Amino acid sequence: MNDRHLTTWVFSLIIALTLRGGFAAAQDMPLTQVLIDGEDWQLLADGFKFTEGPAADAQGNVCFTDIPNNRIHRIDLEGKVTVFAEQTAKTNGLMFGADGLLYGCRNGEKKIVAYQPNGSFETIVDDVECNDLVVASDGSIWFTDPANRRVWYVSPDHEKRVVVEGFRPNGVILSAGQGSLVVTDSEQSHLWTFRVEVDGSLSHGDRYYMPLQLLPGRDKPGSDGMTVDDRERLYVATHAGIQMFDPTGRLGGTIAKPQNRFLSNICFGGKEFGYLYATCSDKVYRRKVKPTGTPYFVVSNRK
């Protein structure tokens, strides 16, 4: 390990240990601390063409998109699925902001937009290629642009600029404390971790959370969407299933996919944010788990 990698690893470890409870958070975190005996995946709805972008609001309701059908759907706390918005221009990634709006990558029009509760929307930035995005408490946005091998930053006043390039980014998530940003590269058996600076730029970028498990006969993990729980465990959707890493970047285990189809994304939601939701090809599932994954804007409002 050279000096640069050592510095980055130490920085990442310090961030992980201090965000959620000190060195106790660095102890082994196996799947027995996540999964509940007797609980399995529950099918919520099927018949879609391709589901993506699950995101929870402040109450735990979850929205997801059916990209080819140009619809966004909403799952209430009881698991009932309804249509949230129609004619969504192949909206892909979704994320709620602290303002209660649902931000989305409106790919068919090369825009990032903010959806109102009634399904109408306003444009945040245009002329962008956007696959997935994450929204910080101050309204800042980071989004991935796989086609051009870039990660972009959008300031609260809607100014955009490239902050990282040189690999093929896919999923993106902030840590619960919003101090670091994690980006997947579906072609590589690692994730990228960066420190978030005050101006939205990213520093100390390095390979982390590795190695990702590969299915036999495959040389790419297919890593896509991610989520984090309240103890800073990171969960990433891959071909092999939902791979869970502890705050120090160690693999704690892999949760089996709900069906043997493409697993695109995951999030915490439902009552007290105690359910793990998964968009898996033509279906959407959830399962009750031990940890909770409270959105940062809910945590901030409780303080």
pTM above 0.85, yes or no: yes
pLDDT tens, per residue, the chain with 303 residues: 444 443 444 444 444 443 433 334 445 789 999 999 999 999 999 999 999 999 999 999 999 999 999 999 999 999 999 999 999 999 999 999 999 999 999 999 999 999 999 999 999 999 999 999 999 999 999 999 999 999 999 999 999 999 999 999 999 999 988 999 999 998 899 999 999 999 999 999 999 999 999 999 999 999 999 999 999 999 999 999 999 999 999 999 999 999 999 999 999 999 999 999 999 999 999 999 999 999 988 876 665
The CATH number assigned to the domain with range 3-302 reads 2.120.10.30
Q: How many CA atoms lie within 13 A of 86 on its CB side?
A: 1
| Chain Cα centroid distance, residue 132 | 8
Q: Which of 296, 298, 16 is nearest to 136 (CA)?
A: 296
Per-domain residue ranges of the chain:
3-302
Q: CB–CB of 156/194 below 8 Å? A: no
Sign of the alpha-carbon dihedral angle for 277, 274, 212, 63: positive
Order across the sheet with 275-280: list the strands: 42-45, 283-288, 275-280, 263-269
Q: Classify residue 18 as left (phi > 0), alpha (psi -120 to 50) or beta.
A: alpha
Which three-class secondary structure state does DSSP give residue 50? coil
Please, which residues bridge with residue 237 across strands? 242
